[in-house]
Amino acid sequence: MPVWREEKLDCDVLVIGGGGAGLRAAITAKACDTDVLLVSKVKVGSTSNTYISKAVIASTGWGPPDDNARTHMADTVKGGRFLNDQSLVARVTERSHAEVQFLKECGVHFGMQAKKLRVIQTPGHRYARHVYGENWRGSDLVIPLKHRAKQAGVPFAKQVYVTRLFADDNRVRGATGITSDGRFYTLHAKVVVLATGGYAQNWPAISPVQYYR
């Protein structure tokens, strides 16, 4: 009797990670009519940083009319002590309004005031520009995103722990994974999206006291 089984899967876009980033990437890949597969080491959506976050999102266009993406970018670059990748900051700050609109269309309920999205001001931002999920919980965001991905027909390979990426010709071609019940996966893909979170570990932790000095 075999003690392990191996499954081979092929797809166009392999998304590794079932938090906000992975779900969003998978929805976009599916909308581009690609054969997408989302893999997560645990239950999609509810076992991610996105789920336990406070669901607060910096996004211009909902608060004071003087505020805009350029001001948001300047605050972000300054707050990041000019260490940020500025082209990435520009893209994020320009897209943030449309992304909040997209989340609304997915069924996310935001905190409201007088029939408008309520914005709050947080340290480092010149304007009140943060919107938030109505319960201040990441589940406000990730559960509707998961439903949208399911509706769009994104298949989930749940509880597959990705162990290694493999490459050929200097290009990532896929990944290997394992499940807790002893199945081994070889996942071949034209494109691999790494959305496994944890990127905050790229920077040393500093206490708020140091930060505001």
Ligand X SMILES: Cc1cc2nc3c(=O)[nH]c(=O)nc-3n(C[C@H](O)[C@H](O)[C@H](O)COP(=O)(O)OP(=O)(O)OC[C@H]3O[C@@H](n4cnc5c(N)ncnc54)[C@H](O)[C@@H]3O)c2cc1C
Residue nearest to ligand X (CB): 19
Interface pick for ligand X out of 18, 61, 111, 144 (rule CB under 6 A): 18
Residue 100 CB, shortest distance to ligand X, in Å, is: 12
- Which pair of structure tokens corresponds to residue 152? 């769009």
Residue 186, classified by CB atoms within 10 Å of its CB into exposed (0-12), middle (13-18) or buried (19+), is middle
Closer to ligand X at the Cβ: 18 or 67? 18
Closer to ligand X at the Cβ: 36 or 162? 162
Residue 45 CB, shortest distance to ligand X, in Å, is: 8
Interface pick for ligand X out of 13, 19, 36, 37 (rule CB under 6 A): 19
CB 33 within 8 A of CB 155: no
Measured CA to CA, the distance from residue 4 to residue 152 in angstroms comes to 33
Q: Which of 20, 18, 22, 15 is nearest to 192 (CA)?
A: 15
Interface pick for ligand X out of 36, 162, 187, 193 (rule CB under 6 A): 162
**Beta strand pairing status for 5-16 and 116-117?**
unpaired
Residue 201 gets which letter from DSSP? G
Interface pick for ligand X out of 48, 59, 60, 93 (rule CB under 6 A): 48
State the residues that interact with ligand X by CB under 6 A.
Answer: 16-22, 39-42, 47-50, 52-57, 161-162, 195-197
